[in-house]
Chains A and B, each alone.
Chain A
């Protein structure tokens, strides 16, 4: 289903969409408040971006350095070219330890690799322990946001899910009560787990260590109680030196949720005595993205979710409408690299307003990359007839200043005089829920000329 159709479905429940929109905008505002409090915030973003660019340009040597140091620390390092290999490696580690009960903290990478269904098919219980992820796991849905996985669920829906699966009492969706019950339920899972899987927020080349950030403490509860800890990381998670963690940890939580830092930022270097620690370094399309000059900066992403919270399309269409592991603006530049035909509508799910690029802590030029994908897609993917004609016309108009001027004038004429029946007609999907704006007076050029003449 194309993004616009899926978004239309999400929009059937107007009250919910409005709530979703406002809730995410509120998170965006919290981000602004925190960012403005930091002396040198823009400098931090510049450094982070330059560091990531340096990492990508030396990725092979940093990977080898990281591996070497991790091994020295007694960590077992694995390499996976794709999702299938990743899942098999996880499974073989679990088999070796006869591990049947697994707790997993948030990791978009394991979502990307569809690890849960793979392990479940092999008779292994995997429990997602982040509360939001547990909610969507019980609902048998994918997360709809990378930081707020259950942002699309109302508290009443969570109440019903918990009644059904955890045997809670009806509470009308009392968040305190439901969280307490989840704490009890998941605590028993932590205590019984044979192995813990976590993601990786940052891997440090010069120490071989890695950092995992959570607010709930679920990554630590899992990793420190179980005998085996498996950390799964996309290869772009590397940073050069430990001191650079200062830069990234200052940016991450502020950008994500408007907190000055996550509750826990845990830095793993060596396994505890008698325990095993594994790291799986995963490619799964990343080297290919690295080869695309126009799109490689998307690999700077530290998965903070800020571009989603600020995006006017995301806020009003919901994460599921993107039908991709990573939704929102950044997902819309990552997904087409994986499957251009399946995800061809995503780069069009944007107003190109540029708000995503403005908030991105690692300064990815997201909206420019969206525009670049559009150019590739109209060439390579068959387009619906109406869109094709319109794009052609628009292209030839924008290319010629004289015609642009004429079309501009006539558009303003049309805006004033087009009958409503035409705007809200069936062919023009844009007009389904919209009216054209009221036109006041001059266009910019006329206004500017008049101003120059002091009219």
Chain B
């Protein structure tokens, strides 16, 4: 096997040990309105922000945004809009024609409009990608300034799979013309409550 040979060659060829840098996160501090910055960025990446007070009205708000959606997966107990139940054992291929998926996210990033979701919230890994439209619901006090803070906040989790989602899927591979809706969700709405 090549493992030993590769490791031996690396050992012989690597330079003298250099230390890990001391990282001073305070150089990235900024005193800003986090929700405002998040909003700017989510709009920049082609997503939409909806701010509501509490989760009581969430179903009515979603219905108003996606009146046509009929095959809906809801991964949060506060929303009763789900019409297609999913569990860990759901075959992801059966989710091919899902119209709308509602997922709770616990961390949002002001600097880039991203929301972190992981296995615990998305239930089936393919779900946030295969769904036609996606709604991510995040508490207002879970908007962090930058990625360093979020990695700190998620450092204690059980590591299986997680993803930062920033806006709907997109491509500019045909003459640099931006087209929203490549292979993943065609639209993304973040609901801050």
Q: Which residues of A contact B (CB under 8 A)?
A: 23, 26-27, 38-40, 43-44, 46-47, 50-51, 53-54, 56-60, 63-64, 73, 79-81, 85, 129-132, 135, 148-151, 153-155, 158, 173, 175-176, 178-180, 183, 186-187, 190-191, 207, 209, 215-218, 220-221, 223-225, 235, 240, 242-243, 245-247, 249-250, 257, 259-270, 272-273, 281, 283, 287-288, 290-291, 293, 296
CB of B184 within 8 A of CB of A245, answer no
Q: Which residues of A contact B175 (CB under 8 A)?
A: 23, 153-155, 158, 173, 175
Q: Which residues of A contact B9 (CB under 8 A)?
A: 283, 287
Q: Which of A73, A81, A148, A183 contacts B183 (CB 8 A)?
A: A183
CA–CA, A207 and B156, complex, Å = 12
Q: Which residues of A contact B2 (CB under 8 A)?
A: 79-81, 85, 283
Name the distance in Å between A233's Cβ and chain B's nearest Cβ: 13
Q: Which of A57, A58, A209, A245 contacts B147 (CB 8 A)?
A: A245
Q: Which of A56, A85, A153, A267 contacts B15 (CB 8 A)?
A: A56
Main secondary structure of the interface of B (DSSP, over half): loop
CA–CA, A261 and B109, complex, Å = 10
Decide yes or no: A273 and B88 within 8 Å by CB, A179-B181, A246-B148 being known contacts: yes
Q: Which of A217, A225, A242, A270 contacts B151 (CB 8 A)?
A: A242
Q: Is B3 an interface residue (CB 8 A)?
A: yes
Q: Which 4 A-B pairs have the closest CB atoms?
A: A217-B184, A216-B182, A132-B173, A260-B112
CA–CA, A178 and B24, complex, Å = 47
CA–CA, A35 and B3, complex, Å = 39
Q: Which residues of B contact A39 (CB under 8 A)?
A: 27-30
Can you show 27 pairs from A to B with CB atoms below 8 A apart?
A26-B176, A40-B27, A44-B28, A46-B21, A50-B20, A57-B14, A58-B14, A131-B171, A131-B182, A135-B174, A154-B175, A179-B171, A179-B182, A183-B181, A220-B184, A242-B151, A257-B172, A261-B114, A263-B165, A263-B170, A264-B164, A267-B161, A268-B161, A270-B159, A270-B161, A272-B161, A287-B9
Name the distance in Å between A120's Cβ and chain B's nearest Cβ: 23
The interface on chain B, measured as residues whose beta carbon lies within 8 A of the other chain's beta carbons, has a size of 74
8 additional A-B pairs beyond A57-B17, A155-B174, A259-B45, beta carbons within 8 Å, are: A23-B175, A50-B21, A179-B171, A216-B170, A220-B125, A247-B23, A247-B148, A263-B170
Chain B residue nearest to A50 in the complex (CB): B21
Q: Which residues of B contact A270 (CB under 8 A)?
A: 159-161
Name the distance in Å between A93's Cβ and chain B's nearest Cβ: 15
Q: Is B163 an interface residue (CB 8 A)?
A: yes
Q: Which residues of B contact A (CB under 8 A)?
A: 1-3, 5-7, 9-21, 23-24, 27-30, 41, 44-45, 88, 92-93, 96, 109, 111-114, 124-126, 129-130, 146-148, 150-152, 155, 159-177, 179, 181-185
CA–CA, A81 and B10, complex, Å = 12
Decide yes or no: A290 and B13 within 8 Å by CB, A81-B6, A85-B2 being known contacts: yes
CB of A215 within 8 A of CB of B170, answer yes
Q: Which residues of A contact B88 (CB under 8 A)?
A: 273
